[in-house]
Chains A and B, each alone.
Chain A
């Protein structure tokens, strides 16, 4: 499943980052890498923007970017 399918409070393990460069490097350098646990802290009402947490780093991203991150609950 993809990150944008998670609900607030859900945690999952990152399986793969599908994004293209340069977005991919940016996600990776924030710690969104294979095997890490990612948690959805918040999202806006329409699920447009997400706030997630990886290894205690809170990160904001859009639905489009969340779609590029494959996770497993």
Chain B
């Protein structure tokens, strides 16, 4: 069957994903663009005996790429194989959107334009004459509404027609600019792009194209002509920057064409009215905090409901698997190592889904941009961006979705700084550890205050570290904050559910692969060598005592004893070291490890608290709390970070610095306590 590969391109907030979700009879694949963790959606469907394959490219304002996502789109359009560009345009913002359309038209590939959100536009009295648009630009266009599902079939008919006619855009700039394009074009010889495209990109200083071209043999001939052409443009337009000249040129073209093809809609006023309340100078911030609080309440109270159920399902599953496997190492590894650990991770799936539903709702309704506007003033002082608030607050729940939520930060530096301090927001899994230590070492009347201090202290330290990172490692101009505030829109249930389904699938995939493998390693390290000890306990069925002895002699304990000298200044012994190491698998396991090491086979938590109090000095407890506040998060979180950040240098930095920081923070606290209280 004939196949047409279509690149789906458009500016942000034009409803591209709505469009993809509205295609009937389509199958979807989700993956990543190679080398980056930018989600890549591919949709395949059939019309008139032809297979159409749509590749959804990240929303892009222009070819002068600014965010990693825009980089992906540009690289794809320049380097990859595809047959046709389908450009989605928001009918309500024709002038702005069309400036990108002209840049796409420059490529010289076959192209079709979809004027999306036409329903809204028409309701406000707007009209677009697509036939006239075709006559003016030679680009076939269709008015569509992905939301109300009209125009899509006609759109695909036009896609097929354009493909079969090999119809390419004919978009021309003003005479003066065209003259320069032609003079540069003449010097361009063999090249895989259209000559016109290369000429235009070179005239507006596109470094990516420059890099591809500059090794060509004809490049030397081209340079003087290019320089002269640019000088002519600069003189005529009274503007030094040729990029700006082209932007103005395209904007003027948009305005000219819009007056010919469209009847303007009445101005929509609902958004302004809602904004009067939601981003009010005084009430905006409290309202935002209230909304966030509600989402977190839902995440952690509703999300907790199915936890026991999921836990018991995994327990039953583990039991069932146990009956299938013969007694021995493999059975123990699977039923005691892998399944419980994977279960512990899957248990957080409801939390993650609720949180993401909330975040998606904020994103789809258009509120997220407002939240960033409201928070920007506060976070700016710490070298962060307004949008960073979402991942940071998410970090109090769990670092895994927090790292993923950092994707809302478009600038790579902002995103990295934010991700580097997410671990300082104490996640939910650390709560039981704090509770254990605080109730053992602090008087009941101050316990709540200590807990509060731990959370606030962690967050404040995180913000200060962000400021330091910004000043030391990300020196230079602060990143600009310019953001479109999209219209408020009703979310579409189908796309909400669809996103959740994709999130679930990816999360479960990870739990089943990486986390299963990591937990197997930890289990092996904490359970071996065991043969001798098992033989010793063959006749005394004291399982708890046996496990304690296995753990005390395990490889994990050996590692603990190896690093004991380092943690000696913190008054920590190998037991605490092992507990903290096991906390790298999951923070909750610190408690269970302490229980094994100090519990003397007793499952009563009062005894555990008493024993810990007896055997640990106060300084060690403080050191431990501080280490837990700041050191590396669990493996699941770390692997998420590694997956999100492709650069090895940052992965390494992220893996090392929290531990160094935690060590010295704890050392400082211990020294202070000893100084005040010798």
Contacts and interface: CB of A to CB of B under 8 A. Distances in A.
A60 B373 contact: yes
A24 B96 contact: no
A6 B267 CA distance: 23
A34 B92 CA distance: 21
Interface stretch (B432-440, B476-484, B504-512, B589-597): B476-484
Given A25-B62, A26-B480, A31 B241 contact: no
Interface string B362-382: 000000010011101100100
Contacts of A27: 482
A2 interface: no
B363 to A, nearest CB: 15
A60 B281 contact: no
A24 B243 contact: yes
B208 interface: no
Nearest to B62: A29
Contact of A17 (B66, B244, B372, B380): B244
Given A22-B66, A24-B243, A58 B482 contact: no
Contact of B96 (A35, A57, A62): A57
Interface in B238-278: 241, 243-244, 247-248, 251, 267, 271-272, 275
Interface of B: 61-62, 64-66, 92-93, 95-96, 99-100, 241, 243-244, 247-248, 251, 267, 271-272, 275, 279, 281-282, 369, 372-374, 376-377, 380, 386, 478, 480-485
A49 B372 CA distance: 10
Given A22-B66, A59-B483, A62-B481, 4 more contacts: A56-B92, A60-B482, A64-B478, A64-B480
Given A55-B96, A57-B96, A33 B248 contact: yes
Contact of B377 (A21, A46, A51): A46
Contacts of A49: 373, 376-377, 386, 481
**A-B CB proximity, top 9 nearest:** A25-B64, A29-B62, A28-B247, A29-B61, A48-B377, A58-B485, A23-B480, A60-B373, A31-B96
B95 A48 contact: no
Contacts of B99: 29, 31
Interface residues of A, number: 36
Nearest to A32: B482
Most buried by A among B272, B376, B480: B480
A41 B274 CA distance: 13
18 contacts: A22-B65, A24-B241, A26-B61, A28-B62, A28-B247, A29-B64, A29-B247, A31-B96, A31-B99, A35-B248, A44-B374, A45-B282, A48-B377, A55-B93, A56-B92, A58-B484, A59-B484, A60-B485
Contacts of B62: 25, 28-29
Contacts of B377: 44, 46, 48-49
A30 interface: yes
Interface of A: 17, 19, 21-31, 33-36, 41-46, 48-49, 51, 55-62, 64-65
A54 to B, nearest CB: 8
Q: Secondary structure of the A side of the interface? A: mixed
A1 B61 CA distance: 28
A70 to B, nearest CB: 13
Most buried by B among A17, A21, A22: A22
Contacts of B248: 28, 33-35
B480 A62 contact: yes
A60 B317 CA distance: 52
B339 to A, nearest CB: 48
Nearest to A50: B373
Contacts of A64: 478, 480
Nearest to B280: A42
Contacts of A19: 480
B251 A33 contact: yes
Most buried by B among A43, A62, A64: A62
A28 B244 contact: yes
A57 B64 contact: no
Contacts of A57: 93, 96, 484
A25 B373 CA distance: 21
Contacts of A25: 62, 64, 66, 243, 247
A15 to B, nearest CB: 12
B66 to A, nearest CB: 5
A71 to B, nearest CB: 16
A48 B478 CA distance: 14
B480 A65 contact: yes
Nearest to B100: A29
Contacts of A45: 281-282
B9 to A, nearest CB: 14
A45 B378 CA distance: 12
Nearest to A58: B485
B251 to A, nearest CB: 5
Contacts of B267: 56
